[in-house]
Structure 1
Amino acid sequence: MTYNLSPDKIILSHEEAINIIRNKKKIHIIKFLINSQTIEAWAICHNNISKEKGLYARVLENLFNKQKKMRKCLNELDEESFEYSCLNSKQKAVKLYINTFYGEPVIISLYSINCS
């Protein structure tokens, strides 16, 4: 089973979770403690169905596929060539960009919690 932990598919309200269940979507409950208070959220289970993936999942998948194509092209180039250096720099930039996505959802989710 795959859970869509993309911030655009996280549900923070109990009422919204009930509505989604009524629409025959599978969800997964997430519970954790913050300052001795139990926080509940729900994630929509997308089962790797593309149309149900969240924005983060789709963007990351697209970027990963682009980087994969670039790495494949690198195998066909001479490592000493200018083209290799340019393409290698681009694929490293895409990799770095992909890696920046992993910290951002945590920041967004912490900001969403009613701590104030």
Structure 2
Amino acid sequence: MKIRNLLGAYAVKRDIVFSTRVCENIEKGKYPGAYIFLPKKGIETKRPVTGLDFASLYPSLIMTYNLSPEKFILNSKDADITRKNGNTLHEISFPFNKRDIHAWCVRHDNQLEKKGLYPIVLKDLFNKRVELKTRLASLGKKKEQLGKVISSAKERGKRIPESLNLEYSSIYFDHDYLDSKQRALKVYMNTFYGKQKTQNLQSFFANWLEELLQQENSALILSQNS
């Protein structure tokens, strides 16, 4: 609901109106994909594992390929007409319910007037988060420096000036406040592609994967001993 309200606020500015009625008879099925788990440190010492993390991967893909409902084309005839009108299209194809789904989306070619509603909202949220994280980095350094000064004074048994305590408390509060805001923006961005809904499945799959690995290791030990 919050995402819908946010999109609605941006849509009005672009003279776009959309229905809030819940669609019925939606075809259900499974999509190909994977869930990425964070690595457990120390689980493998002989062959260290490194992770490659893309910053805001899925929101970045939505912004790059202009993935927005009003920019989608669902049949080849309309795609040909749109292409002949000078638009660049990105073709999408994936298996769903034992058949291949084909669609196209209009690329924005870095032109603001061609950008869809989703990419515009995400770009705005992304820029706001970058700005907050820049301010966080600066406050973080100040907080760390003051923390070291206060800790050093305590270790030497010296009296800590009230002004220093007040300054540290103020910086700590501002840092915590900005961090909460940037985390809220991250949740907004992630909710665009449903990440928050998949978090509930993490513990289930983690336990299942651990049991599977234990079974494979047991089978390997038995085969070596036989």
TM-score category of the 2 structures, normalised to the smaller one: 0.7 to 0.9
2:122 is aligned with what amino acid?
A: L
Q: Using the alignment, how far apart are the partners of 1:93 and 1:82 within structure 2?
A: 17
Determine the structure 2 residue equivalent to 1:90.
181
Contact 1:29 1:41 (8 Å CA) reproduced: yes
1:98 is aligned with what amino acid?
A: M
Q: Using the alignment, how far apart are the partners of 1:87 and 1:33 within structure 2?
A: 42
Is 2:179 the partner of 1:101?
no
SS at 1:93 equivalent: helix
* 1:73-105 deviation per Cα after TM superposition (whole angstroms, max 9, x unaligned): 12332445212111111111111111111228x
In the alignment, structure 2 segments of 5+ residues that lack a partner are 1-63, 144-168, 196-226
Q: Using the alignment, how far apart are the partners of 1:21 and 1:28 within structure 2?
A: 10
More strand by percentage = 1
Determine the structure 2 residue equivalent to 1:109.
none
Question: Aligned residues: percent identity?
Answer: 44
Once superposed, which parts of structure 1, at least 4 consecutive aligned residues long, lie more than 4 Å away? none
TM-superposed deviation, 1:31:
2.5
Deviates more, 1:39-48 or 1:60-69: 39-48
TM-superposed deviation, 1:55:
1.1
Q: Using the alignment, how far apart are the partners of 1:86 and 1:46 within structure 2?
A: 35
Is 2:73 the partner of 1:11?
yes
1:60-71 correspondence runs (5 A): 60-71=122-133
Determine the structure 2 residue equivalent to 1:113.
none
TM-superposed deviation, 1:70:
0.9
* Number of positions where the alignment pairs a residue of Structure 1 with one of Structure 2: 103
Label 1:13 to 1:88 Cα distance change in 2 as closer, same or farther (>3 A): same
Q: Using the alignment, how far apart are the partners of 1:42 and 1:101 within structure 2?
A: 19
Specify the structure having the higher radius of gyration (Cα).
2
TM-superposed deviation, 1:29:
2.4
TM-superposed deviation, 1:20:
0.9
TM-score by length of 2: 0.41
TM-superposed deviation, 1:45:
2.0
CA RMSD of aligned residues (A): 2.1
